[in-house]
Amino acid sequence: MPRKPPPPLPTVRTIRMVQPMIWLILAWRDMARAGWISFAHGLAVTLAGGAMLSVAHHRFWLLAGALSGFLVVAPVLATGLYALSRALERGEPANLGVVLRTWSQWQTSRGNNGGGDAWCMVRFGLLLALAGTGWVLTSAALITLLAPVPIETPVDFLRHVVMAREGWLFELWLGLGSLMAAPIFASSVVAMPLLLDRRATLLQAVLTSWQAVVANPLPMAFWAALILGFTLLGLGSLLLGLVAVLPMLGHASWHAYRDLVDASSLPEREIPNGAATALQNNGVAR
């Protein structure tokens, strides 16, 4: 029996080194136009992080892994922001309804056997969550087993891990984190926006994401550095900066996808019938 040919991939474009800065500018424009619903995403993550801090503030060995694991699952948390940017791009209302429809699409697409239904987003989200959980456990094991003293506070982490004169714990922690983060970044940098926008399979989305990174190694390395820098800024401001950082990076990631990928060869993802009917009843259908 002949093997099936691999699914065709969308065309990937090459971009300029400074393009990530333009994505951030466009993100601020989207945030201003979407208003409170955009910042609500950042507020929700900030509140969740605050709850995490209250539970684990004396267990920084766990908190360090959990906060850094946030970078892994962030592409999923920003799904509603991609939808808002897409709606703004199309001249459609960018409101709470757009976000709710986006998160509920998977419930109405289970019967699609073509591989391009919204369950792809759910499966990809679960994979990222599994990777994030794996890093949290790895980070906690490294710090608790190899640290010379119990690490309970941020000061302990800085003194006995980051600035330790003996041993290589911090370098090992960073190295393993980078080793895990690099392939996840390459797999997810445009995968979630593509799955949201087009009827693509999970394999198509991940391979397209890798192709975008391979075709633009320096701009994508710059983009990864910007994501890391702004995320650290948000975390370092007692999480308050995440109220603006998360929506900014989420909207910017949509514009990254639009610049990097020509997905016109793939059919657009349609609104499920139930959602479309509700829209028509409210007089805001496309």
Q: How confident is the model at residue 280 (pLDDT cuts 50, 70, 90)?
A: very low
Please state whether the predicted TM-score (pTM) of the whole model is above 0.75. Answer: yes
- The pLDDT score that the predictor gives to residue 26 is 98
- The pLDDT score that the predictor gives to residue 104 is 76
Torsion of CA 19, 20, 25, 28, to 10 degrees: 150
Smallest CA-to-CA distance from 224 within 189, 260, 180 is with: 189
Q: How confident is the model at residue 273 (pLDDT cuts 50, 70, 90)?
A: very low
- The pLDDT score that the predictor gives to residue 118 is 58
CA distance 211 to 64: 31
Residue 149 tokens read as 């003293």
- Classify residue 118 by burial, with Cβ atoms within 10 Å: 0-12, 13-18, 19+: buried
Average pLDDT, rounded, for the chain: 81
Four-residue CA torsion sign, 153, 158, 164, 168:
positive
- The pLDDT score that the predictor gives to residue 67 is 65
222-251 pLDDT, tens digit each: 999 999 889 888 877 878 999 999 999 999
How much is the average pLDDT of 263-280?
62
Q: How confident is the model at residue 177 (pLDDT cuts 50, 70, 90)?
A: confident
CA distance 146 to 230: 29
Distances in Å between the Cα of 73 and the Cα atoms of 95, 183, 193, 240 are 23, 13, 14, 19
- Classify residue 239 by burial, with Cβ atoms within 10 Å: 0-12, 13-18, 19+: buried
Residue length, the chain? 286
Which of helix, strand or coil describes residue 63? helix
Residue with tokens 């509920």: 104
86-109 pLDDT, tens digit each: 999 999 999 998 998 887 765 555
